[in-house]
Structure 1
């Protein structure tokens, strides 16, 4: 006798037409993700309870909010879905993460429960790729050095006395990581006439990027600009250290909008501080970056405070993905942006 007959499994859509949804995005970001139009669309799918992640940090508070909910919409700071938290949410059937990385959210117990989960990282790929391209163009055109010279009192002639600018057309661009962000960046560089090489051991046979494939050694030694678009995994940690950075030609530049752990930041600082190469960084080993951090004083770097994926447009796209994923779940369709444990092992 099947004692589970008629009982929905965690991965089955609820029999009710409306979901009971816990929407938990930090206050500072909620309006960016959940526009009035997105909120209206969500309300058509279910009944929404909004509680900021900061208010769910105690297990009691989490249980009070989550006990009857069918679906979670999460972002940064949401409690880790471990055994205790899953026990406090016995009706949970679906999770949609409005941000990208799931590492802090999921646990072994979560994967064992078979609850479907998806994330909206695809919404950020165009924004991060665009910042990487912006960095690339600025470095090639020497904008960072020219701006610094004029702002710090250099004479007109001294400000103009920098190494001659390059155009991206014909420039040698090396890309470490054929991620979805990396692919957007590559497409943009190719469209502007750059000569692109890519290092990624997971480019499948028959992929158009295979024609641009290069070893890490050759890519570093033969690029005017190297852009990092690999995920932060044990395999990529420290991938580019002092020996690899030494391969870069004099006057080259490194762009990192991915994760700082991929590059030995101390070794990179030494190279940039010497003036041999330039850099543009959106990510750092220590965030927030302290006001007295030595990176802040270098004239030949561009720095942004880890906002590559945070545009008005990317947040709106993420909200639209959240709505579409829940709509797919209700209708019994596969989630377009679903992730498995195996997927996560190769993602940052």
Structure 2
């Protein structure tokens, strides 16, 4: 959990002898056209000799070897093969990895860190869009929208539909409990405060001098005192199972839970028991079992709002990510400090 500051860049390897280094761009097919505008695509191609290959094809070692030979830069996204020793040996000229998505947990390995290859990611691009979905969820739950919508769609009488839930609330004056002072959590806090909400934050990594320090509280206080609990922490060994049965039971009756972060932070069975009982309402963008099966238990509850893991998948966030990719590649080629670099130490608290 916690705020992530931009890190200094490891000294780049010298590739000045190649003015347009061979660069592998590997984006899943369903996202292939989402990241780059005409302008950012043109700039990337001015900087690099771009070769494209889909991540699923690169699972094959021979295909990976053929593409990786002579390649200096990898631009990766979801599904790219893990960069372990076997893969690194097939990419002897690799000098920089730019991850166009957020988490790199499944991409890097101990061998990768030992190789000293700089890596950066475009996770900052998603923070506004994920925070905005969390705000959308928050507003919908406060207004009891899922319950009213379900009543009308299931054929309830008009007067019965109007009493399908307790009287709605506005966000102004509501108390929002935020778990994780991440870049997304901070965006969400700013949005909620702009609409008049109060906020309390749990994050053990909020440092002295951070403006959020004044709003920090321990987890039991956040859970028991807030109207809405919004999860914005990364998945790490420390945060897995953070909200178990006891923690969920500590949320006050009628509480609202929003999760646009990672499913592993919440005991899903315990949450289901609380929501299906009617004691809590929830809005979820992430699930332990994805894609969510057609007959999944969550789909028919009247007091839950569901979206299929698309919090960061807006047109705008993808274009922002594309520009971050171009900017970081340019900085690397010029030997300038990267603005979105990661290290193994930072990864331990970022997820």
CA apart distance, 1:10: 8.2
State the distance in 1 between where 2:86 and 2:245 align: 44
1:69 aligned residue: 71
What 5-or-longer segments of structure 1 have no aligned partner?
Answer: 1-8
Contact 1:172 1:195 in 2 (8 A): yes
Residue among 202, 211, 216 paired with 2:214: 211
CA apart distance, 1:268: 0.6
State the distance in 2 between where 1:62 and 1:203 align: 41
State the distance in 2 between where 1:92 and 1:106 align: 14
Residue among 38, 41, 44 paired with 2:43: 41
1:166 aligned residue: 169
State the distance in 1 between where 2:105 and 2:336 align: 25
- Correspondence list, 1:264-279, <5 A: 264-279=267-282
Task: Name segments (4+ residues, structure 1) moved above 4 Å.
Answer: none
State the distance in 2 between where 1:30 and 1:335 align: 24
1:289 aligned residue: 292
State the distance in 1 between where 2:28 and 2:245 align: 38
Contact 2:283 2:305 in 1 (8 A): yes
2:99 aligned residue: 97
State the distance in 2 between where 1:73 and 1:311 align: 20
1:5 aligned residue: none
Contact 1:13 1:331 in 2 (8 A): no
Contact 1:142 1:165 in 2 (8 A): yes
Residue among 229, 235, 241 paired with 2:232: 229
2:79 corresponds to 1:87:
no
1:309 aligned residue: 312
2:12 aligned residue: 11
More divergent stretch after superposition (45-54 vs 314-323): 45-54
1:146-181 deviations in whole A, cap 9, x for unaligned?
A: 111111111111111120111100001000000000
1:53-82 deviations in whole A, cap 9, x for unaligned?
A: 111111111010011011010011111111
State the distance in 2 between where 1:10 and 1:75 align: 24
Q: Secondary structure at the match of 2:50?
A: strand
State the distance in 2 between where 1:10 and 1:167 align: 51
CA apart distance, 1:275: 0.4
State the distance in 2 between where 1:192 and 1:39 align: 37
Q: Secondary structure at the match of 2:83?
A: coil
- Correspondence list, 1:317-336, <5 A: 317-336=320-339
TM-score of the two chains, using structure 2 as the length reference = 0.95
Q: Secondary structure at the match of 2:240?
A: coil
Q: Secondary structure at the match of 2:32?
A: helix
State the distance in 1 between where 2:324 and 2:348 align: 22
1:96-127 deviations in whole A, cap 9, x for unaligned?
A: 00011101111111100100000001100111
State the distance in 2 between where 1:258 and 1:100 align: 12
Aligned length: 340
Q: Secondary structure at the match of 2:33?
A: helix
1:240-297 deviations in whole A, cap 9, x for unaligned?
A: 1111111111111100000111111101100001101100000111111111111111
CA apart distance, 1:324: 0.2
CA apart distance, 1:13: 3.8
Contact 1:35 1:316 in 2 (8 A): yes
Residue among 140, 152, 157 paired with 2:154: 152
1:24 aligned residue: 26
1:132-154 deviations in whole A, cap 9, x for unaligned?
A: 00000000011111111111111
TM-score of the two chains, using structure 1 as the length reference = 0.96
Q: Secondary structure at the match of 1:133?
A: helix
Provide the alpha-carbon RMSD of the alignment. Answer: 1.1
Contact 1:10 1:113 in 2 (8 A): no
Q: Which has the higher contact order (CA 8 A, sep 6+)?
A: 2
What 5-or-longer segments of structure 2 have no aligned partner?
Answer: 1-9
